[in-house]
Chain A
Amino acid sequence: MVNLNSIPPKDGRDYYLAIGLEGSANKLGVGIIKHPVLERHTDSDLSHECDVQILSNIRDTYVTPPGEGFLPRDTARHHRNWVVRVIRKALSEANITDPTKIDVICFTRGPGMGAPLHSVVIAARTLSLMWDVPLVGVNHCVGHIEMGREITKAKNPVVLYVSGGNTQVIAYSEKRYRIFGETLDIAIGNCLDRFARTLKIPNTPSPGYNIEQLANKCKNKEKLVSLPYTVKGMDLSMSGILQYIDTLAKDLFKKNLKNKLLFDSKTGEQLVTVEDLCYSLQENLFAMLVEITERAMAHVNSNQVLIVGGVGCNVRLQEMMAQMCKDRSNGQVHATDDRFCIDNGVMIAQAGLLEYRMGQFVRDLSETVVTQKFRTDEVYIAWRE
């Protein structure tokens, strides 16, 4: 059994306060949360039932023009320019007048883009020295998982983590979140984002959302543009699919009549639209995701799925996952909405506070070095049985 109350809150209060700073990609997020001290946490395995209260959840996204991705340098500059304002807003929304009362400052240690991570950790160190509050470095993926568990109350789910930089199927075993399946090349969000760039569709609110909207407008849902289906055991590969559909889209824009998939060879009539391509891409990619998730569920004998990460907001993916679970005995699917799916500060605070309550925090600033490569299974999960 695990004791989550080993470190009492500051000033003999009956609750913990934590602030989380996230900036591993193009979202800058600051969140403040409160955990009440509960008797049941002294000796139990209830790290997914902390009765968390979200005092504030502020996010600012660096949006690039259509056809462009976010470059590390520019993203880092965005984070540096906004971090003070976002933190101030988070504090005032949470009604915290004296930030030295906060128990712990949590920041993203990785994985992510180096430069943006760096600009945010500098802010975190500064706050720590200024307010004299300890720091905790959090693995971004673990942040997503812990927030998902807390919101949905899923005790021990198979986790599908799908975002711009990650595609992993994860299950907990012996104090680690083990990776059962993952992408062998690019992440699903990356695949969708890059296709959106080829299509030159806007990046607001997010490229993936716009692809989803285009896919919904597809008029010919019976017929699918056939794409490679590349599941390798519990792993998958997506770069080939992207390459293939990119070529199709370019042929479509160039009106390359030689391409018989897109144009009728006799009349030159256009057979496929951009909406059809978006729809087919989504159907194909998500079918692969659901399949590897189901494989992992069968392998570990679990019947719960939790979808986290930015792509997890996609309604079609949630639908497909729900259908898959329906066909398994007592299958349950848990998903969160865009407040928690998309990168945010609250999830970093949640995972960081759990770590802090187990007595793990930064003793020396040299431990706060951020890293671009930080695997989910490297983290020792002290707060679970």
Chain B
Amino acid sequence: MSAEIIAVIADVLTESIPLTPISQGAEAVVFTSPVHPYLPSSVKHDGNKLYILKYRPEKKYRHPDIDKALTKHRTLGESKLLAKLRLIDGLNVPKLIGCDPYHGCIWLEFLGEDLPDGHGFSNLKNFLWMNAKDPYSDLVKETLIKVGKQIGLMHWNDYCHGDLTTSNIVLVRGGEEWVPYLIDFGLGSISMLVEDKGVDLYVLERAIISTHSSFSDKYNMWILEGFKEVFESNGKVGLKKYKDLTKRFEEVRLRGRKRSMIG
């Protein structure tokens, strides 16, 4: 992680908000901080409770016009979406605490934990890798069905994620089980179009094929199973929507380039 980038945001937030960088994604750097933005600095934080700070640094490689437009659009877009998604019953997204669009910065509640035996942070990618020895266990199956349900619920309410990958799904421990949370809505949108949802599913399918190639068929099947359940529970309208969606999903799949046309 580049120290220059960290210095910029640390300067904005001043010394009273300590930052610990935890990951650098493609467009944002993610920090944890023990400080809640609303509490006065006189209140001592005990360090047990952490908050997430997601910071979109200036991207020097692109033209300043493009950069400004994108950073503003994505920071505000993500905050708006999170605020709305949070209100949907049964859908798990991190709670939005604060948004600073001028500096490309949002505060979120902290989710997830570290997986045992150095398997890294508890996102779906690391979870699947951790379970690669027993890839078809009930735990994996249940978790993936639950992931499918989350995505189904989001699509049923006409929201799209835009960048569904296994690293953008965080698992939170709930007793013996794992509860999936969708994160990173920087490319998200509100959309009535089947097209956008079809592309969403296709992006996730491809992400699974490329990161978890050996077991991808089963994984994708389970996710779709959970996905279908949500639509089925909404009666006739739901089934019709599900049919339209899967039809478009198949079409999007065929659209990729240079696919061999056998079979």
Provide 6 A-B residue pairs closer than 8 Å at the C-beta atoms, listed in order of the A residue.
A173-B213, A178-B209, A233-B163, A286-B62, A298-B26, A298-B167
Inter-chain CA distance A233–B60, complex, in Å, is 21
Check A234/B203 contact, CB under 8 A, given A224-B66, A297-B26.
yes
What count of chain B residues pass the 8 Å CB interface test?
A: 40
What count of chain A residues pass the 8 Å CB interface test?
A: 49
Asked if A329 contacts B24 (CB within 8 A), the reply is yes
Asked if A224 contacts B63 (CB within 8 A), the reply is yes
Residues of A within 8 A of B26 (CB): 291, 294-295, 297-299
Asked if B62 contacts A298 (CB within 8 A), the reply is no
Check A374/B163 contact, CB under 8 A, given A178-B210, A283-B62.
no
Asked if A324 contacts B59 (CB within 8 A), the reply is yes
Q: Is B193 an interface residue (CB 8 A)?
A: no
Asked if B61 contacts A329 (CB within 8 A), the reply is no
Asked if B210 contacts A223 (CB within 8 A), the reply is no
Residues of B within 8 A of A283 (CB): 62-63, 66
What string of 1s and 0s marks CB contacts (under 8 Å) between B126-154 and chain A? 00000000000000000000000000000
**Contact check: which of B4, B70, B199 meets A229 at CB < 8 Å?**
B70
Q: Is A117 an interface residue (CB 8 A)?
A: no
Asked if B60 contacts A327 (CB within 8 A), the reply is yes
Among A39-47, A179-187, A204-212, the stretch in contact with B = A179-187
> Which applies to chain A's interface (DSSP): helix, strand, loop or mixed?
mixed
Asked if B1 contacts A375 (CB within 8 A), the reply is no
Asked if A324 contacts B61 (CB within 8 A), the reply is yes
Residues of A within 8 A of B207 (CB): 180, 233-234, 299
Inter-chain CA distance A115–B206, complex, in Å, is 31
Asked if B257 contacts A328 (CB within 8 A), the reply is no
Q: Is A265 an interface residue (CB 8 A)?
A: no
In the assembled complex, how far is the CB of residue A233 from the closest CB belonging to chain B, in whole angstroms?
4
What string of 1s and 0s marks CB contacts (under 8 Å) between B27-40 and chain A? 10000000000000
Asked if A378 contacts B260 (CB within 8 A), the reply is yes
Inter-chain CA distance A215–B102, complex, in Å, is 31
Residues of B within 8 A of A374 (CB): 258, 260
Interface centre among B4, B5, B59, B209 (most CB of A within 10 A): B59
In the assembled complex, how far is the CB of residue A156 from the closest CB belonging to chain B, in whole angstroms?
15
**Contact check: which of B2, B167, B259 meets A375 at CB < 8 Å?**
B259
Asked if B260 contacts A375 (CB within 8 A), the reply is yes
Q: Is A148 an interface residue (CB 8 A)?
A: no
Interface centre among A229, A298, A324, A372 (most CB of B within 10 A): A298
**Contact check: which of B61, B187, B210, B211 meets A290 at CB < 8 Å?**
B61
Asked if A323 contacts B60 (CB within 8 A), the reply is yes
Inter-chain CA distance A233–B220, complex, in Å, is 18
Asked if B24 contacts A298 (CB within 8 A), the reply is yes
Q: Is B112 an interface residue (CB 8 A)?
A: no
Asked if A233 contacts B260 (CB within 8 A), the reply is no
Inter-chain CA distance A210–B214, complex, in Å, is 45
A289-319 CB contacts (< 8 Å) to partner B: 290-291, 294-295, 297-300, 319
B62-93 CB contacts (< 8 Å) to partner A: 62-63, 65-66, 69-70
What string of 1s and 0s marks CB contacts (under 8 Å) between A263-298 and chain B? 000000000000000000001101100110011011
Check A329/B66 contact, CB under 8 A, given A180-B210, A232-B199, A294-B27.
no
What string of 1s and 0s marks CB contacts (under 8 Å) between B192-232 and chain A? 00000001000100110111011000000000000000000
A216-232 CB contacts (< 8 Å) to partner B: 223-224, 226, 229, 231-232
Q: Is B256 an interface residue (CB 8 A)?
A: yes
Q: Is A371 an interface residue (CB 8 A)?
A: yes
Asked if A224 contacts B62 (CB within 8 A), the reply is no
Residues of B within 8 A of A375 (CB): 258-260
Inter-chain CA distance A174–B162, complex, in Å, is 27
Asked if A233 contacts B164 (CB within 8 A), the reply is yes
Inter-chain CA distance A285–B163, complex, in Å, is 19
Q: Is A145 an interface residue (CB 8 A)?
A: no
**Contact check: which of B2, B211, B214, B256 meets A326 at CB < 8 Å?**
B2
B155-183 CB contacts (< 8 Å) to partner A: 162-165, 167
Q: Is A320 an interface residue (CB 8 A)?
A: yes
